[in-house]
Amino acid sequence: MVAVTLIMAAAALSKQDTSARNLRTGGPVPLLAHQQQRAVEVPKDPRARDEKRVGRWPAPIATALVLLGWPKDEIPDIEVVATRPPDASPTAEAWVWCNEDGSAPPVIYVAADTDMYADALQENRQALVKLAGILTHERWHLRHGPDEIGAYEAQLGAMVSLTADDIQLTGIRLALRDVRRRGGALSRGSANGCRTGSRVVLPKFEDPPSDAGDGEARDTGSSLGAVRPDSHVRATEPVIRALLQTGLSRSATFQRLVEALNQADVIVYVDPLRTRETLGGYLSHDVISAGGYRYLHIAIKVRGGDVRLIALLAHELQHAIEVAEDPDASDARHVDALFRRLASKAGCTIASCSETAAAIRVQNLVDSELKTKR
């Protein structure tokens, strides 16, 4: 039912005039000669002519645009193509061409031969969310130029709002951190222009990423109750950063949890809970390992009183510590096995829940500390 609704909405959207001439720029940006030649030489995917279309777009593009909800005058031209330019990465899923001044012609090219696009053709929800994120990334380049930091930040924001899965979100975050370490602009083209392309490659970190530039809580200068800029517990949403700050300033147990994680080989990202709403929060069993660190994901409710929410967050951080203490817990299978060993019969309200006595105890301790120290 959801897929049918999206396709119907996409059909309505496709009837709108979204040509380059109607962009807010007032008209198409002129291409350089070598860029005109390249654009002409990129043939459209012969399979795309036979696939299901919704108006002017292939169905996956139309559905991704519906998910994004862009106004009609903010949608650039989008072409699905079979052949990459000669200097394009074989793993690039989409790209635009930049002019010498950093601007770009208002066209996004999407590769037709990727697993992501094949899955999107089958109406796979996560593939469509990934495609929406990629379109957001490339549209940022059309508007702002080749700098990758802003493009990845826009992509991450779109994918968080569309409830991308943990693996996708962690991959984008790692790519963003890698770009920050490398200075922002990743030039992958000729000296006469630049090409930017969407793909996520897990970086090889020598040290844990320590900058707080992608929206994490920053050190306020106080040694007590402040989130360190290199904290292993990280969040992009202001409401969650505020919960972290309050927990650190008012609960000794909460402080010990974060300090323990800061000494461990795990990096924990915390996002608002958008699925599994019968739970107050959960630690995903999916793990990404990169550069000697294990990347974990916690989702937590953000509606309710601070005391309850911070205690729930402490509960999930204890689960992260339980993973950190087991060096074999580096993938979903081993994390599942870990929590089967630690499982307590108390505290779960659904069949798929894994609970531990230590997490319940920590939650109660933090709740008590917060109510005492007001």
- In the structure encoding, which two tokens stand for residue 85, read together? 């330019």
Query: Is the pLDDT confidence value at 93 over 80?
Result: yes
Over residues 265-283, the pLDDT tens digits come to 999 999 888 766 667 889 9
Residues facing 198 on adjacent strands: 94
pLDDT value of position 201: 42
pLDDT value of position 102: 59
Query: Is the pLDDT confidence value at 19 over 60?
Result: no
pLDDT value of position 15: 44
Residue spans of the domains in the chain: they are 2-198, 233-372
Find the range with the poorest average confidence among 111-120, 186-195, 227-236.
186-195
With H, G, I as helix, E, B as strand and everything else as coil, classify residue 351. coil
Find the range with the poorest average confidence among 80-89, 93-102, 191-200, 355-364.
191-200
Query: Is the pLDDT confidence value at 289 over 90?
Result: no
Output the CA torsion sign for 183, 186, 191, 195.
negative
Average pLDDT over residues 19-32: 30
Over residues 29-57, the pLDDT tens digits come to 332 222 333 333 334 444 443 456 666 78
pLDDT value of position 295: 92
Over residues 203-260, the pLDDT tens digits come to 333 444 444 443 333 333 334 455 667 789 998 888 888 899 999 999 999 999 999 9
In this predicted model, which residue has the larger pLDDT, 21 or 146? 146
pLDDT value of position 32: 27
| Structural contact between residues 119 and 112, judged by C-beta atoms closer than 8 angstroms | no
* Most confident by average pLDDT, 38-42, 125-129, 171-175, 177-181: 125-129
pLDDT averaged over every residue in the chain: 74
pLDDT value of position 45: 42
Q: Return the C-alpha torsion angle 300, 303, 309, 310, nearest 10.
A: 90
**Cα–Cα distance between 89 and 143 in angstroms, integer?**
22
CA dist 5 → 12, 53, 62, 156, 186 (Å) = 11, 15, 12, 25, 38
In this predicted model, which residue has the larger pLDDT, 156 or 97? 156
Residues 6+ apart with CB under 8 A from 74: 23, 24, 139
| Structural contact between residues 328 and 309, judged by C-beta atoms closer than 8 angstroms | no
**Cα–Cα distance between 132 and 130 in angstroms, integer?**
5
Average pLDDT over residues 168-197: 61
pLDDT value of position 202: 40
With H, G, I as helix, E, B as strand and everything else as coil, classify residue 270. strand
Please calculate the CA angle 154-158-161 and round it to the nearest 5 degrees.
Answer: 140
3-state helix, strand, coil in the chain (%, to 5): 45, 15, 40
Find the range with the poorest average confidence among 84-93, 134-143, 251-260.
84-93
Average pLDDT over residues 80-102: 77
Give me the residue label for tokens 């967050």.
Answer: 313
CB atoms within 10 A of CB 100: 11
- Percent of the chain whose predicted confidence (pLDDT) is above 90: 35
**Cα–Cα distance between 312 and 367 in angstroms, integer?**
9
State how beta strands 293-300 and 266-272 pair: parallel
pTM: 0.51
Over residues 316-358, the pLDDT tens digits come to 999 999 999 999 999 989 999 999 998 865 555 545 557 899 9
Rg (CA), the chain: 23
pLDDT value of position 237: 82
